[in-house]
Amino acid sequence: MSTAPSPEPVPTAAASAPDLGARLDDLRREYAALQARGLSLDLTRGKPSAEQLDLSDALLALPGEGVHTAEGGTDTRNYGGLAGLPELRRIFAELLGVPVEQLLAQGNASLTLMYDTVVQALLFGVPGSERPWSREEQVTFICPVPGYDRHFAVCEELGIRMVTVPMTPDGPDAEAVAALVADDPSIKGLWTVPTYGNPDGSVVSEAVARRLVSMPTAAPDFRIFWDNAYAVHHLTEHEAKSANAIDLAAEAGNPDRVLMFASTSKITFAGSGVAFFASSPANVSWFTKHLAIRSIGPDKVNHLRHAMFFGDADGVRAHMRKHREILAPKFSAVTSILESRLGGAGVAAWTDPDGGYFVSVDVVPGTASRVVTLAKEAGIALTPAGATFPYGRDPQDRNIRLAPSMPPLEEVQVAMDGVATCILLAAAEAATA
Amino acid sequence: MSTAPSPEPVPTAAASAPDLGARLDDLRREYAALQARGLSLDLTRGKPSAEQLDLSDALLALPGEGVHTAEGGTDTRNYGGLAGLPELRRIFAELLGVPVEQLLAQGNASLTLMYDTVVQALLFGVPGSERPWSREEQVTFICPVPGYDRHFAVCEELGIRMVTVPMTPDGPDAEAVAALVADDPSIKGLWTVPTYGNPDGSVVSEAVARRLVSMPTAAPDFRIFWDNAYAVHHLTEHEAKSANAIDLAAEAGNPDRVLMFASTSKITFAGSGVAFFASSPANVSWFTKHLAIRSIGPDKVNHLRHAMFFGDADGVRAHMRKHREILAPKFSAVTSILESRLGGAGVAAWTDPDGGYFVSVDVVPGTASRVVTLAKEAGIALTPAGATFPYGRDPQDRNIRLAPSMPPLEEVQVAMDGVATCILLAAAEAATA
């Protein structure tokens, strides 16, 4: 029962898997055998594999001795150029569908850009704010769930209250979001990963995007943190293109509503890529004004290195197809093993994403943490249960995020077979509890 | 009258240069001739020259295709390693005199590390804080003057009040600092550039350092921002070594008082170097805990690139001697032209630094901005008068920061001759006003 991410609970074990209890002893033996293999496998985080990183190894010798001059004669080695190198910004402006003047190229992590943006809002407010967010009695962000644990950690660290809405196959539940923001002026932000959502793989549809950028908000300075981490990270021929939220927001008369983030972390080197910030002219100038106090400019040599490596936007697209060749078999392994081991058992629903880095699995409610523990004790590290929810608390204890990118294909297969055993055993335990 | 930075006002024009008024017409003619040359020269900022950047050009092809593994088998291309690459940290731990465990290697700018440290203190407080600094009624930093404009800009941006103390040839006036911090609990910070201060070139003596780290402070969470930007940036055989403030603070029973910052910005590439944070174990763990929310790790490929380029601490020292060969003649030109044009005229005092990036000139009080304007109108860009004081306001309007590193030697010579003319003309104008 491979499905788009299900906003509805899957059938409970009691309702749908009455015979699982009878299989408990078999499953325990199967699990004991799994444990006996002494595995050490890791599906915890969305890290690229060494094979993927190898695709960008030309970067290790770029720009090349004597090569340091960018267009306009800029010496990339020296200070300056706060907005980042134009030739690299142009490539990603095309890919992200934003004007190059509205796109900044910065350091090695979009997470840092997102954190710093929230901090700037707390310290200074954003265009349209009545006061710095830190002077509000309360600041609330809407967190679609399941979602990205690092988004939630930023809010938690910075004292921002989180309220959840469900994800749908078309992105965050826009009606739920609209209802919340209409009445509550403390709601200043919404997180979303619009293209191949983390972990559910959903893509924000144009209709949902239009609703989000045009809905009335009680706060005059509400912002959507549009974390376009996987904008070009396709796993199939069906290359999704998320709605152009910045343009749509401008059309809707809310030009400053969307803050877009992206990076090359999962295009070139995870730790040594380039991160991007895009938004309205007012937001870009707000961000840059404060950036100028803390930076004399980003690492332009790394920008030049990346611009030379890609050449142009088509260079990025061609490069991403090589990633796809490596990643697609791993994702197929995950979903086909889940299908063959669990299909029809009524104990799980999972996503079959067209891109991104994750498979989201909903298991029998109440058993996700048990599955993760069982896996751990069999040498298979999974992202902690609850990680896809604020404060690490999944109210139904049912969602598990699988990240198959890092291990070699054979390890993904072995690990997933083990995970299937753990899901079945936890369900059987629950059915007989 | 080349001197160590003078805490006392230089003699005024009226007192010491009674004959300058008589030279006014001559000086006006000289200035008109200077203007007629149509110069376009720039002594504004401490940027390395292209010739200096060339010294590190091997970095442009490092680490080299296929080379990405650091000690312990770390794949530098991937995520992780929040503290930075150990092999690079070890090199700079030796140079900065701190244990490697207490040194973090991060992104491309120590300015960013300093800003982020202040922001963390505002949002969360530091070890020993009763509350986040932003919840205090007022936060005050002591700013020795003349000082570094970007330090002051950080305070201004973040709403931190600045009070000044004079610089001495041994660093900040420690007795003035001690008197201020003893009574005022709002004083949370002190900026200092301990080695070859910006702009005065002073080096914090061990006695001053001991006083600063041991003085009683009304605030339990007072911090010294020890911006060791020029720790290895010598201009002469006399290689100053600033006091080891972190050790001294621990000895004095105030282990958490000192936060040290440094970078390779003026060692390798100004925009693409590596910045460092060093402090007590408690401060490092405080910094890292918050860093972990906003970063998955720094650019380790750039760390590896730098570690390979330097080899070891002696590699850095040898490299800095090459910088010195380029820089020393420029600094000599500045001071020898000042001496030959202004020596004995009683219109200026200037520093003759053993390292760093600046010469600090005190002109006739009330004429610094006039000098900068005259220079500008003759095509010579100088750092704005007042820049070395908080809010850009030099109460005596007498300090000018000269930055001779960037232009070629011949341009430095031409520019300095012009600056001398401007200083004389402004003094003569003042004497006859």
Task: Report yes or no on B70 lying in a domain.
Answer: no
pLDDT tens-digit readout, B136-175: 999 999 999 999 999 999 999 999 999 999 999 999 999 9
Task: Report yes or no on B11 lying in a domain.
Answer: no
Nearest to B53 among A60, A75, A109 (CB): A75
Please check whether residue A256 is in contact with residue A286, taking contact to mean a CB–CB distance below 8 angstroms.
Answer: no
Please check whether residue B287 is in contact with residue B69, taking contact to mean a CB–CB distance below 8 angstroms.
Answer: no
Task: Report yes or no on A421 lying in a domain.
Answer: yes
Q: Mutual orientation of helices A86-96 and A300-310 as an angle, nearest 10°?
A: 60
Give the Cα separation of B401 and B412 in Å (integer): 14
Nearest to A269 by CA among A117, A107, A66, A113: A107
Nearest to A262 by CA among A271, A251, A248, A273: A273
Give the Cα separation of A219 and B169 in Å (integer): 54
Task: Report yes or no on A126 lying in a domain.
Answer: yes
Do the strands B359-363 and B348-350 form a parallel or antiparallel pair, or are they unpaired? antiparallel
Please report residues of B whose CB lies closer than 8 A to that of A115: 293-294
Give the Cα separation of A173 and A188 in Å (integer): 17
Nearest to A53 among B53, B78, B154 (CB): B78
Give the Cα separation of B258 and B213 in Å (integer): 8
Q: Are the beta carbons of B158 and A265 separated by less than 8 Å?
A: no
Residue B294, token pair as written in the block: 């906003």
Question: Testing the interface with A: which of B151, B269, B286, B291 to mutate, by most A Cβ within 10 A?
Answer: B269
Question: Which of B312, B334, B369 represents a domain boundary (last residue)?
Answer: B312
Nearest to A362 by CA among A9, A45, A46, A18: A9
What is the interface size between A and B, counted as CB pairs within 8 Å? 162
Residue A86, token pair as written in the block: 């134009």
Please report residues of A whose CB lies closer than 8 A to that of B63: 60
Give the Cα separation of B23 and B140 in Å (integer): 46
Q: Quick one: pLDDT at residue B17?
A: 57
Please check whether residue A262 is in contact with residue A229, taking contact to mean a CB–CB distance below 8 angstroms.
Answer: yes
What H or E segment, with its residue span, contains residue A326? helix A313-342
A 10 A CB-CB count for B147 gives: 27
Could you tell me if A302 and A331 lie in one domain? no
Could you tell me if B338 and B277 lie in one domain? no
Please report residues of A whose CB lies closer than 8 A to that of B115: 293-294
Could you tell me if A408 and A305 lie in one domain? no
Give the Cα separation of A363 and A373 in Å (integer): 14
Could you tell me if A136 and A221 lie in one domain? yes
Task: Locate the chain A residue with the closest alpha carbon to B268.
Answer: A77
Please report residues of B whose CB lies closer than 8 A to that of A58: 65
Could you tell me if A180 and A241 lie in one domain? yes
Task: Locate the chain A residue with the closest alpha carbon to B120.
Answer: A119
List the beta bridge partners of residue B144. Answer: B165
Could you tell me if A299 and A377 lie in one domain? no
Give the Cα separation of A93 and A96 in Å (integer): 5
The end-to-end CA distance of chain A, in Å, is 25
Q: Quick one: pLDDT at residue B21?
A: 79
* Residues 6 or more apart in contact with residue B352 via CB below 8 angstroms: B2, B3, B201, B331, B335, B359
Please report residues of B whose CB lies closer than 8 A to that of A295: 109, 111-112
Torsional class of A324: left (φ above 0), alpha (ψ -120 to 50), beta (otherwise): alpha
Please check whether residue B371 is in contact with residue B27, taking contact to mean a CB–CB distance below 8 angstroms.
Answer: no
Question: Testing the interface with A: which of B78, B135, B264 to mutate, by most A Cβ within 10 A?
Answer: B78
Q: Quick one: pLDDT at residue A15?
A: 39
The reported pTM is 0.95
What average pLDDT does the segment B274-292 reach? 98
Residue recorded with tokens 């720039």: B42
Nearest to A78 among B48, B80, B116 (CB): B48
Give the Cα separation of B431 and B18 in Å (integer): 7
Task: Locate the chain B residue with the closest alpha carbon to A269.
Answer: B77
Question: Which of A312, A339, A371 represents a domain boundary (last residue)?
Answer: A312
Q: Are the beta carbons of A45 and B122 separated by less than 8 Å?
A: no
Nearest to A267 by CA among A306, A226, A239: A306
Could you tell me if A118 and A234 lie in one domain? yes
Residue recorded with tokens 């760093």: B356
A 10 A CB-CB count for B51 gives: 16
Amino acid at the residue A188: K
Query: B337 to each of B26, B333, B400, B420, how far by Cα in Å?
Result: 19, 6, 16, 8
Confidence band for B104, pLDDT divided at 50, 70 and 90: very high
b/e code A2-24 from CB counts within 10 Å (16+ = b): eebbbeeebebbeebbeebbebb
Q: Quick one: pLDDT at residue A242?
A: 83
Q: Are the beta carbons of A78 and B134 separated by less than 8 Å?
A: no
Task: Report yes or no on B358 lying in a domain.
Answer: yes
Please report residues of B whose CB lies closer than 8 A to that of A108: 107, 298-299
* Tens-binned pLDDT, residue by residue, of chain A (433 aa): 334 444 343 444 343 555 787 899 999 999 999 999 999 999 998 999 999 999 999 999 999 999 999 999 999 999 999 999 999 999 999 999 999 999 999 999 999 999 999 999 999 999 999 999 999 999 999 999 999 999 999 999 999 999 999 999 999 999 999 999 999 999 999 999 999 999 999 999 999 999 999 999 999 999 999 999 999 999 999 999 889 999 999 999 999 999 999 999 999 999 999 999 999 999 999 999 999 999 999 999 999 999 999 999 999 999 999 999 999 999 999 999 999 999 999 999 999 999 999 999 999 999 999 999 999 999 999 999 999 999 999 999 999 999 999 999 999 999 999 999 999 999 999 998 8
Could you tell me if B403 and B428 lie in one domain? yes
Do the strands B380-382 and B399-402 form a parallel or antiparallel pair, or are they unpaired? unpaired
Confidence band for B328, pLDDT divided at 50, 70 and 90: very high
* Residues 6 or more apart in contact with residue A233 via CB below 8 angstroms: A195, A196, A266, A267, A320, A323, A355, A356, A357
Q: Are the beta carbons of A107 and B269 separated by less than 8 Å?
A: no
Residue A68, token pair as written in the block: 């340091």
pLDDT tens-digit readout, B205-228: 999 999 999 999 999 999 999 999
**Is pLDDT at B14 greater than 60 in this prediction?**
no
DSSP for residue A58: G
Do the strands B359-363 and B140-145 form a parallel or antiparallel pair, or are they unpaired? unpaired
Q: Are the beta carbons of B301 and A272 separated by less than 8 Å?
A: yes
Q: Which domain holds residue B204?
A: 79-312
Give the Cα separation of B254 and B120 in Å (integer): 20
Task: Locate the chain B residue with the closest alpha carbon to A294.
Answer: B112
Give the Cα separation of A309 and A62 in Å (integer): 8
pLDDT tens-digit readout, B56-87: 999 999 999 999 999 999 999 999 999 999 99
* Residues 6 or more apart in contact with residue A225 via CB below 8 angstroms: A114, A117, A118, A141, A151, A189, A190, A191, A192, A259, A261
Q: Quick one: pLDDT at residue A19?
A: 75
A 10 A CB-CB count for A72 gives: 9
* Helix-strand-coil split of chain A, %, nearest 5: 45, 15, 40
Please check whether residue A391 is in contact with residue A149, taking contact to mean a CB–CB distance below 8 angstroms.
Answer: no
Do the strands A171-172 and A161-168 form a parallel or antiparallel pair, or are they unpaired? antiparallel
Task: Locate the chain B residue with the closest alpha carbon to A109.
Answer: B295
Could you tell me if B354 and B397 lie in one domain? yes
What is the domain-level CATH number for residue A324?
3.90.1150.10
Could you tell me if A149 and A297 lie in one domain? yes
**Domain count for chain B:** 2
Q: Are the beta carbons of A294 and B65 separated by less than 8 Å?
A: no
Please check whether residue A203 is in contact with residue A196, taking contact to mean a CB–CB distance below 8 angstroms.
Answer: yes
Residue A163, token pair as written in the block: 């309220």
Nearest to A190 by CA among A219, A232, A170: A219
Please report residues of A whose CB lies closer than 8 A to that of B50: 75, 78
Nearest to A57 among B66, B112, B295 (CB): B66
Question: Which of A285, A312, A339 represents a domain boundary (last residue)?
Answer: A312
Give the Cα separation of B388 and B383 in Å (integer): 9
What H or E segment, with its residue span, contains residue B305? helix B300-310
Give the Cα separation of B357 and B196 in Å (integer): 8
Could you tell me if B119 and B219 lie in one domain? yes
Percent of chain B clearing pLDDT 90 (strictly above): 93
Task: Locate the chain A residue with the closest alpha carbon to B291.
Answer: A112
Task: Report yes or no on B61 lying in a domain.
Answer: no
Please check whether residue B227 is in contact with residue B172, taking contact to mean a CB–CB distance below 8 angstroms.
Answer: no
Give the Cα separation of B2 and B332 in Å (integer): 12
Rounded to a whole number of angstroms, the distance from the CA of B302 to the nearest CA of chain A is 8
Could you tell me if B230 and B102 lie in one domain? yes
A 10 A CB-CB count for B131 gives: 10
Q: Quick one: pLDDT at residue B18?
A: 59
* Residues 6 or more apart in contact with residue A340 via CB below 8 angstroms: none
Please report residues of B whose CB lies closer than 8 A to that of A112: 294-295
Task: Report yes or no on B4 lying in a domain.
Answer: no
Q: Are the beta carbons of A65 and B58 separated by less than 8 Å?
A: yes
**Complex prediction ipTM:** 0.95
Q: Quick one: pLDDT at residue B146?
A: 98
Collapsed DSSP state (helix, strand, coil) of residue B141? strand
b/e code B211-225 from CB counts within 10 Å (16+ = b): bbbebebebebbbbb
Nearest to A52 by CA among A407, A308, A351: A407
- Over chain B, what is the mean pLDDT? 95
**Is pLDDT at B10 greater than 90 in this prediction?**
no
Task: Report yes or no on B228 lying in a domain.
Answer: yes
What is the domain-level CATH number for residue B106?
3.40.640.10
Please report residues of A whose CB lies closer than 8 A to that of B265: 79
Please report residues of B whose CB lies closer than 8 A to that of A302: 272, 299, 302
Query: A384 to each of A32, A337, A362, A421, how far by Cα in Å?
Result: 22, 21, 14, 17
Nearest to B238 by CA among B357, B328, B132: B328
Q: Are the beta carbons of B293 and A48 separated by less than 8 Å?
A: no
Q: Quick one: pLDDT at residue A17?
A: 57
Give the Cα separation of B268 and A84 in Å (integer): 19
Q: Are the beta carbons of B63 and A60 separated by less than 8 Å?
A: yes
